[in-house]
């Protein structure tokens, strides 16, 4: 009956599409989200569930994961969704993961800095990294939890102590800074933001966020005062959202978009796609800071090549100078947390 209603060519197309989905899905990734029930975790998991790049979605949180997983699992897309709740199920959640994305931990309230989250989030990231070291030591790990400038060194030290640290596989997710720069430039200049690419380097808080507007593609120009104002808006965009949410948390939806964008790039790189480039906060020898975000060429084993800073304008060189002492302090604080009794 069905085949009599549709043309043979259509059947062939459907058959080929199904074959493509099956073939590609076999090479696609198992992604674990730690903090999956949260403000970022839920919309991020929804976006990941919609992509054929993800074969298995493993959702971990300390609360509500069975409900989130049951809800998402009813969506008619390819990936299989499983929920894991509480520390006793953490290793099962991580087993076999190619990619682990970590948006676990508390967000800011108005008046707080990201560093004010350190006391709560440092131990959450430490414990999740320790579980990754045991359950999925080869996974690519993307850390969203703030303060990113410290949580990435924390995770790295934990993996190092466990003897499984590969600096090419640990990323602080700073994609939201790039997304914001692209949005503000695109809307400001009347260019489709999806066609704008402005690298943002450094770290992920205040003065450590360094937009490289001189390297934006397509090229854009601003008068001195406008350039300063735009740069400061990108640096303080997280605080803009925290203030607007008035106590109800920080960026979640734009972060879910940014987190999905970064995760899909990791998935494509894992599959062997060429020319996958993202900025992320990683172990680095580009500047005096031990961890630093720059554009990275991604490959099947994580960072394939650090593409560095490129040519900076005088204005951007000054921003870099201002960022380094703060970055070094944040990095040291993270390392000390793991190494000092
Ligand atoms: P949220 O409070 O809405 O969600 C956090 C989730 O983490 C909750 O579901 C909570 O149960 C879970 N959680 C707590 N401890 C956990 C543990 N030990 N293991 C697993 N899950 C645990 O917060 P949110 O708005 O989703 O933000 C999460 C984090 O992301 C914050 O630290 C925030 O500052 C950060 N953030 C980073 C960026 C970035 O650009 N990197 C952007 C936005 C927010
Ligand atoms: C952001 O940039 O939106 C996040 O880091 C959350 C925050 O606290 O600003």
| Rg value, the chain, Cα | 20
Task: Name the residue among 29, 141, 35 with its Cα closest to residue 90.
Answer: 35
The per-residue pLDDT for 341 is: 63
The per-residue pLDDT for 209 is: 99
Q: What's the pTM value of the predicted model, to 2 decimals?
A: 0.94
Residues 6+ apart with CB under 8 A from 311: 214, 215
Q: Is the CB of 241 under 6 A from ligand 2?
A: yes
Strand partners, 80: 56
> Which of the residues in the chain have pLDDT under 70?
1-27, 341
- Which tens digit of pLDDT belongs to each residue from 112-170? 999 999 999 999 999 999 999 999 999 999 999 999 999 999 999 999 999 999 999 99
Listed in order, the ranges of the chain carrying CATH 3.40.50.720 are 28-173
CATH architecture label of 175-338 = Alpha-Beta Complex (3.90)
CATH fold of 28-173, please?
Rossmann fold (3.40.50)
Task: Name the residue among 203, 187, 201, 335 with its Cα closest to residue 278.
Answer: 201
In the block, which residue shows the tokens 């569930």? 49
The per-residue pLDDT for 74 is: 98
Listed in order, the ranges of the chain carrying CATH 3.90.110.10 are 175-338
Q: Report the half-sphere exposure of 280 (CA within 13 A, side-chain side).
A: 33
Cα separation, 199 vs 285, whole angstroms: 18
Q: Is the CB of 180 under 6 A from ligand 2?
A: no
The per-residue pLDDT for 27 is: 63
15 is catalytic: no
The per-residue pLDDT for 3 is: 38
Name all residues whose Cβ lies below 6 A of ligand 1.
34-35, 37-41, 60-63, 103-108, 117, 121, 124, 128, 144-146, 148, 173, 176, 204, 249-252, 255
Task: Judge contact between 15 and 2, C-beta under 8 A.
Answer: no
Q: Report the half-sphere exposure of 62 (CA within 13 A, side-chain side).
A: 9
Separation of 238 CA from ligand 2 center, angstroms? 4
Cα separation, 142 vs 154, whole angstroms: 13
């Amino acid at each position: 009956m069905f085949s009599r209603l549709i043309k043979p060519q259509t059947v062939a197309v459907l058959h080929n599409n199904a074959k493509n989905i099956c073939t590609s899905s076999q090479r696609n990734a198992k992604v674990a989200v730690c903090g999956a029930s949260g403000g970022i975790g839920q919309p991020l998991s929804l976006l990941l569930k919609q992509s054929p790049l993800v074969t298995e979605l493993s959702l971990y949180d300390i609360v509500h994961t069975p409900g989130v997983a049951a809800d998402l699992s009813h969506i008619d897309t390819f990936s299989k969704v499983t929920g894991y709740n509480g520390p006793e199920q953490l290793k099962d959640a991580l087993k076999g993961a190619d990619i682990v994305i970590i948006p676990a931990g508390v967000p800011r309230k108005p008046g707080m800095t990201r560093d004010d989250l350190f006391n709560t989030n440092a131990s959450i990231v430490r414990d999740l990294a320790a579980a990754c070291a045991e359950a999925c030591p080869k996974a690519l790990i993307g850390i969203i939890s703030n303060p990113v400038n410290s949580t990435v060194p924390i995770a790295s030290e934990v993996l190092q102590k466990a003897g499984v640290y590969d600096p090419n596989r640990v990323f602080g997710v700073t994609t939201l800074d790039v997304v914001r720069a692209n949005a503000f430039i695109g809307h400001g200049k009347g260019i489709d933001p999806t066609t704008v690419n402005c690298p943002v380097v450094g770290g992920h808080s205040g003065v450590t966020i360094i937009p490289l507007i001189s390297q934006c593609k397509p090229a854009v120009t601003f008068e001195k005062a406008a350039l300063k104002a735009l740069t400061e808006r990108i640096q303080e965009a997280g605080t803009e959202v925290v203030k607007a949410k008035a106590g109800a948390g920080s960026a979640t939806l734009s972060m879910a978009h940014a987190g999905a964008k970064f995760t899909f790039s990791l998935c494509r790189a894992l599959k062997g796609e060429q020319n996958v480039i993202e900025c992320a906060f990683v172990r680095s020898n580009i500047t005096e800071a031990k961890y630093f975000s720059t554009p990275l060429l991604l490959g099947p084993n994580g960072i394939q090549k650090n593409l560095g800073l490129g040519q900076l304008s005088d204005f951007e060189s000054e921003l870099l100078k201002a960022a380094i002492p703060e970055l070094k302090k944040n990095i040291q604080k993270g390392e000390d947390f793991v190494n000092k009794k």
